[in-house]
Amino acid sequence: MVVLTSTTITNAAKGFSGPGTNLANLFNLTGVTNRDKHGTELWDTWIVGAPIAGQDVDTTLTVAVVDDLNHNGIYDDAPDVVTDQNGDGRIDLLDLKAIGVASNIETVKFHINGNPA
């Protein structure tokens, strides 16, 4: 699985390489729901401990399952960092399509609040 935000910070010491950083491994709880012959729905929970995608900023969340690129029968080929495959200066769904995906690509725009709770 690949999870990207358009505003992910760059911080090599903490393992973040900007908007191409695959954030999927940060999810604390993953559940599989609504499985049928047409698809499977995944629910993920993420307890955010640091503002890695910014504060008081608009961002875009993009999620997809990467295809079985090495053809070993296991969908385990999601990269740690998605690169700008088409050279347009953005990391987005077009780059995921260029890599190859096995699912729909879901994109959601939202605002990350800057005020502490």
- Domain spans of the chain? 2-112
For the whole model, what pTM was predicted?
A: 0.83
pLDDT tens for each residue of 37-62: 888 887 877 777 778 899 999 999 99
Long-range contacts, stretch 16-23, CB < 8 angstroms, 24+ apart: 16/52, 17/80, 17/81, 18/91, 19/90, 19/91, 20/81, 20/82, 20/83, 20/84, 20/91, 20/95, 21/80, 21/81, 22/78, 22/79, 22/80, 22/81, 22/82, 23/52
> Identity (one letter) of the amino acid at 10?
T
Q: Is-contact 88 94, C-beta < 8 A? A: yes
pLDDT tens for each residue of 49-99: 778 899 999 999 999 999 999 999 999 999 999 999 999 999 999 999 999
